[in-house]
């Protein structure tokens, strides 16, 4: 009876050893996906507030400073803000270069096969009244 229990525990340890890399990969991808979603949400909020600022203060509004203040967890040099005004609407586009894997550009290049940056872009268009 003792030998049967030891075989089962060995089998469970083997199954765990085989599944552990997949579990870690899944957990890692969930965390990284959540990080990207958080950054995109911040960019979307900043573009929305930038469009509101242009509507309230006019085309001379300093949208870039507002965006940098709202998206403080992104390095300012990787943020790009574009304001387009047409007769009837205002469009604010906020984008940034996103480096997944917490700055590990080598891992990103290994997985995707390219060294091109991954760009997150959020756009808000509001009508003028």
For 110, residues 6+ apart whose C-beta sits below 8 A from its C-beta are: none
Cα 13 from chain centroid (whole Å): 36
pLDDT tens for the chain, 129 residues: list them: 456 666 677 888 888 899 999 999 899 889 888 988 999 999 999 999 999 999 999 888 999 999 999 998 888 888 999 999 988 999 999 999 887 766 555 666 666 677 777 889 999 999 987
d(CA 14, CA 22): 14
CB 77 within 8 A of CB 125: no
The residue segments making up the domain with residue 114 are: 3-127
What is the sign, positive or negative, of the torsion defined by CA atoms of 22, 27, 32, 38? Answer: positive
Per-state percent for the chain, helix, strand, coil, to nearest 5: 60, 20, 20
d(CA 87, CA 125): 12
Q: Look at the chain and report how many structural domains it folds into.
A: 1
């Amino acid at each position: 009876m003792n030998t049967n229990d030891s075989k089962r525990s060995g089998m469970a340890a083997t199954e765990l050893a085989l599944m552990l890399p997949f579990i870690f990969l899944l957990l890692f991808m969930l965390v990284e996906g959540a990080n990207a979603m958080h950054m995109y949400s911040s960019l979307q909020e900043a573009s929305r507030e930038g469009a509101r600022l242009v509507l309230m203060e006019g085309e001379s509004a300093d949208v870039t400073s507002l965006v940098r203040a709202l998206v403080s967890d992104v390095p300012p040099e990787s943020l790009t803000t574009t304001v387009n005004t047409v007769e009837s609407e205002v469009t604010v586009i906020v984008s940034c270069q996103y480096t997944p894997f917490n700055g590990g550009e080598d891992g990103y290049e290994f997985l995707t096969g390219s060294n091109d940056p991954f760009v997150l872009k959020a756009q808000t268009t509001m009508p003028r009244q």
